Amino acid sequence: MPAATYDLVLRGGRVIDERNSVDGVMDVAIKAGRIAAVGADLAKDATRVEDVTGAIVAPGLIDIHTHVYHKATSLSVDPGFIARRSACTTLVDAGSAGAGNYDGFRDYVMIQSPYRILAFLNISFPGIFGFDKGVSIGEATMRSMLPVDRCVAKVEQNRDRIVGVKVRIGGIVTGDLGLGALELALEAAEALDLPLMTHIGTAPPSYADVVDMLRPGDILTHCYRPDPNSAIGPDGKVIDAVLKARERGVLFDIAHGMGAFGYETTEAALKDGFPPDVISSDVHVIAVEGPGYDLLHTMSKLLNCGLSLPQVIAMSTSRPALAIRRPELGHLGVGAPADITVLRQYDSNYVFEDVVGTRRQGSTLLQPVAVYLDGKSMEVSRRPFEESFLTGHHHQH
Ligand SMILES: [Zn+2]
């Protein structure tokens, strides 16, 4: 008997891979940790076969806004717990660490984890240092907290895992410094030729003033935050500054968290033809038990808002991979790392809630089935708070 061609074949799932223009029922074959083939009838050449009929086979999910500098920063959560529950293969930390404490993040969290953990480095030297239930201290209120040269030097030494610069803008985070903090962060990102991820909070500065300064490829995170200071004008339409920003290539990211997903904003934006570019969770210590929970739950939420399954998958795989300039991730092309997320879509009567307490009756939920990281099977955990709301079998669209 000839030696098997493939180590593992996932047989019969609906494969959704935007980058390679794939959406259909087929097999995915893995060899030596990489995608070896995608097509029909691959199982006969495999050492091991997993039947995933009726399931969705997607590139490994990428959450580009998490906080996982666990136990060293007060806002962060355990990356393993989050990756298992949300069926992610790649977690990108959004500025929990700055130049002053990044080395600990790398040595004590990133390299200890089996998952791909990447980071935006905070322009603030101490990172997000004072954030917890009842504690909220701005990390970008003084120029002396934002030494551009230190940020640039730390990124230069760690380009393997640092994918961009992060800044939080608005309200008490920046205080009187306001847009001055954004200028310094842009200076660092420009020097590094990397994207800047900018958080938008309460005014000042205004949503328009912030997006006006962003460059092509920069990421506005918390794009569907509720009023006040949302992307929607008094006429119920997306404001001009936001439309202009998208036109020049600024990317808009959900980052649900505990303050940044409002149904009124979301529904107005979608009605006005303004879907997000990327879906992310902003999972942290206050959001991890709802209403944002994690990336997979946030994907379900957007699915229930009317985005299609292929859109939601693309916004959580290929789009974030390109946003962080890691084109090798987020797709299932032959030769790519075998990062794969297997999901099922169930009928459900789950009632979703946004960050201001507005509720919407849902009809469907995505649930994790399996995750492969570099071809290796990883544990997934169900989210118990959702299980009792599943009312029917998964769909087969
Ligand atoms: Zn965040």
Tens-digit pLDDT string for the chain (397 aa) = 566 899 999 999 999 999 999 999 999 999 999 999 999 999 999 999 999 999 999 999 999 999 999 999 999 999 999 999 999 999 999 999 999 999 999 999 999 999 999 999 999 999 999 999 999 999 999 999 999 999 999 999 999 999 999 999 999 999 999 999 999 999 999 999 999 999 999 999 999 999 999 999 999 999 999 999 999 999 999 999 999 999 999 999 999 999 999 999 999 999 999 999 999 999 999 999 999 999 999 999 999 999 999 999 999 999 999 999 999 999 999 999 999 999 999 999 999 999 999 999 999 999 999 999 999 999 999 888 888 899 876 655 4
Query: If we measure between CA atoms, which residue out of 150, 62, 63 comes closest to residue 100?
Result: 150
For the chain, give every domain's residue range.
Answer: 6-58+333-351+363-394, 60-323
**198 Cα–ligand 1 center, Å:** 10
**313 Cα–ligand 1 center, Å:** 21
Fold of 6-58+333-351+363-394: Urease, subunit C; domain 1 (2.30.40)
Looking at residue 2, what is its pLDDT? 61
Model confidence pLDDT, tens digit, residues 302-337: 999 999 999 999 999 999 999 999 999 999 999 999
In terms of DSSP H, where are the helices of 213-260?
240-247
**281 Cα–ligand 1 center, Å:** 8
**395 Cα–ligand 1 center, Å:** 33
Cβ-based neighbours of 250, under 8 Å, separated by 6 or more: 211, 214, 215, 216, 217, 218, 219, 220
Looking at residue 383, what is its pLDDT? 85
**301 Cα–ligand 1 center, Å:** 19
Looking at residue 397, what is its pLDDT? 46
**305 Cα–ligand 1 center, Å:** 22
**278 Cα–ligand 1 center, Å:** 14
Burial of residue 215 (CB within 10 Å: 0-12, 13-18, 19+) is middle
Looking at residue 392, what is its pLDDT? 79
Looking at residue 3, what is its pLDDT? 67
**291 Cα–ligand 1 center, Å:** 15
Strand-pairing partners, residue 343, are 56, 368
Alpha-carbon span 202 to 181, nearest angstrom: 15
**What is the three-class DSSP state of 390?**
strand
Query: If we measure between CA atoms, which residue out of 262, 297, 320 comes closest to residue 120?
Result: 320
Fold of 60-323: TIM Barrel (3.20.20)
Amino acid letter for position 112: Q
**86 Cα–ligand 1 center, Å:** 17
CB 59 within 8 A of CB 107: no
Looking at residue 385, what is its pLDDT? 86
**299 Cα–ligand 1 center, Å:** 17
| Cα angle: 81, vertex 82, 86; to 5 degrees | 120
**120 Cα–ligand 1 center, Å:** 11
Query: If we measure between CA atoms, which residue out of 147, 272, 146, 128 comes closest to residue 201?
Result: 128
Whether the model pTM is above 0.95: yes
Cβ-based neighbours of 252, under 8 Å, separated by 6 or more: 219, 220, 223, 231, 242, 246, 274, 276, 277, 278
